[in-house]
Structure 1
Amino acid sequence: MNDVFGYVAYGDNEVYHFGALLSALKLLYHCPHANIIVATDRPEFFRPYPVETMTITAGQKELMSFGWRYHFGIKAACLIEILNRADRLIFMDSDHYPYLDPTRGFRQITPIRSFMRKCEGRHRRYPVLSGKGVKIGDYTLTGDEPMWQSGILGIHRANISALTEAYAAMLAVRELTNTDAPEQFCIGVALSRNELAVSRHHLPVSDYNTRGKKAFASPRVLQFFEMYGDAPIAEQIRRAGWYRLWRTPMDLWRQRDRWSF
């Protein structure tokens, strides 16, 4: 099996690129032989490291985002391209990172079974899809389908067609719901139809995807490369392995005035 870990990092915010790189370094600490592909519009961030890059050009970003009408289309389209280079893919958003070896997750991926980060249930704004005739493959969306969060995705190459069908529906869902979630919604539905099944992941992966977590972790991501970015790659991997992005009780106390953790 060609087992691949994938990331997508694009845009002007360097935290997304350095976040993906730090996550990849943590992954290499716990799994030195990991096969990693990063789809990015800033390949220079990753070129010195033992990862494969897939360059996203400006023209491709415009096309993937439906003419900039839905930028998360870039992530969805890149997932398809990465999966074309893999048999089994474990994808993580750039604000997710492993704290132990996650390779056992590949055993959970089959042609009929995928996993995603978690099920968020029915989205209150998606019933607007009812009666609009939006399809994923031959399935007509009702808006009552559960929303699966896509910060983590485990998927088999056999499901490229399901991702392609999901991608084709995203713009219509975006324009009808006016939300940012069509990418994960459509992927979750596509991986749940017919004989396919999607379940919650069980990987040793943490994240900083809330406002409070991000406010703490993002500066530390940049600080890591300020401190160690000129060190040999092996040293960066060693230091990344135990570099802290999670908050202590004292860190939480310092953030006590924030409304969101």
Structure 2
Amino acid sequence: MIDKAFIYVLYGKHLRYYQETILSMSTLLTYNPKANIIVLAEWVDFFPEIPNVQVINFTEQQQKQWLGCSNYHFRLKLSGIRFLLQNYAKKIIFLDSDTLVRSNLMHYFDMIDHSNSILHKLEGHLSRRRFTRQYKNVIGRTFNSDKGGRCLITESAPMYNSGFIGLAQVHLSLFEDALWLMEEVSKYTTYHTAEQFALGFFLCKQGKVHTVGDKVVYHYWHKQPRKFIHEQISDLLLSYSILELANNPRLSLSIKPHRPFTRLIRDKVGKLLTK
């Protein structure tokens, strides 16, 4: 077991997620060349041999076991993070595949301890109109569990983005609670954010949650920004192999994270025309 590692969790064999991961790893290694990276992935053969990168097979048996009777696939994300934290690294920083690293991250490991964790950013509280609408059937509800205790969800509850997660082994006891609350909350909303809500909820109860923000990492999960970056990834992989990109991570600097003004206007006009 190593002291610290950056980790990715991939299930399924959707090519775009694996291409995103290669790009994310390349941006990570550009600014953090000595980083240790662990990838838990179903499609192991996609990854070439890369120094400091360990790829672990995410078996179908594991996935079935961790999902159980649930159909909420983000359970695999939290379960995968817990598995790597239990067995491979004492401290981890998890990155979603659709995350571009923009600076050195190594000092964030020093911020993680029993009373301190890290998430990408605070998107607001449930009192924010967007979340009030999405969580209208959750706000004011009390959930009870033998392990998680009594959880009253109020408008003051925070909603963090979990595209970046920094944890240590001292946080392992929170996973069962987060997985339980995630399942309960997901029954009352059709939005996919129950996972990040539940994790942030319990991390806040344990201590201080630090955030890194968009200047440190860029999480491009919105539809049009994602499409723009996917087009660039496809072009990049036409010019270079996955191995070349992994061994020469600075090639990833050619990716423009934000759309130029002309593209932005074109996308907005196209969106209006399809309504």
Q: 2:249 aligns with which of 218, 237, 255?
A: 237
Q: 1:133 to 1:235 in 2, by over 3 A?
A: closer
Farther off after superposition, 128-137 or 184-193: 128-137
Q: 1:216 to 1:232 in 2, by over 3 A?
A: closer
**d(CA) in 2 for partners of 1:205, 1:131:** 34
- Amino acid in the other structure paired with 1:221: I
Matched, 1:159 2:159: no
Which position in structure 1 is the counterpart of 2:99?
A: 96
Contact 2:38 2:56 in 1 (8 A): yes
**d(CA) in 2 for partners of 1:230, 1:93:** 19
C-alpha displacement at 1:231, in angstroms? Answer: 5.8
Q: 1:65 to 1:138 in 2, by over 3 A?
A: closer
Q: 1:59 to 1:252 in 2, by over 3 A?
A: same
Unmatched segments (≥5 aa) in structure 2: none
C-alpha displacement at 1:168, in angstroms? Answer: 2.8
Q: 1:196 aligns with which of 207, 213, 228?
A: 207
Contact 2:28 2:100 in 1 (8 A): yes
Farther off after superposition, 114-123 or 227-236: 227-236
**What is the CA deviation profile of residues 79-113 of structure 1, one whole-angstrom value per residue up to 9, with x for unaligned ones?**
10122222221111111111222212222212210
Task: Figure out how many residues of one structure are paired with residues of the other and give that number.
Answer: 259
Which position in structure 2 is the counterpart of 1:169?
A: 181
Q: 1:139 to 1:234 in 2, by over 3 A?
A: closer
Q: 2:231 aligns with which of 209, 215, 219?
A: 219
C-alpha displacement at 1:137, in angstroms? Answer: 3.8
SS at match of 1:134: strand
Q: CA RMSD in A?
A: 2.4
Which position in structure 1 is the counterpart of 2:77?
A: 75
**d(CA) in 2 for partners of 1:4, 1:192:** 23
SS at match of 2:92: strand
Which position in structure 2 is the counterpart of 1:185?
A: 197
Q: Percent identity?
A: 25
Q: 1:140 aligns with which of 141, 150, 155?
A: 150
**d(CA) in 2 for partners of 1:238, 1:132:** 49
Contact 2:92 2:168 in 1 (8 A): yes
Q: 1:56 to 1:31 in 2, by over 3 A?
A: same
- Amino acid in the other structure paired with 1:217: I
Q: 1:235 to 1:156 in 2, by over 3 A?
A: closer
**d(CA) in 1 for partners of 2:146, 2:27:** 36
**d(CA) in 2 for partners of 1:137, 1:127:** 25
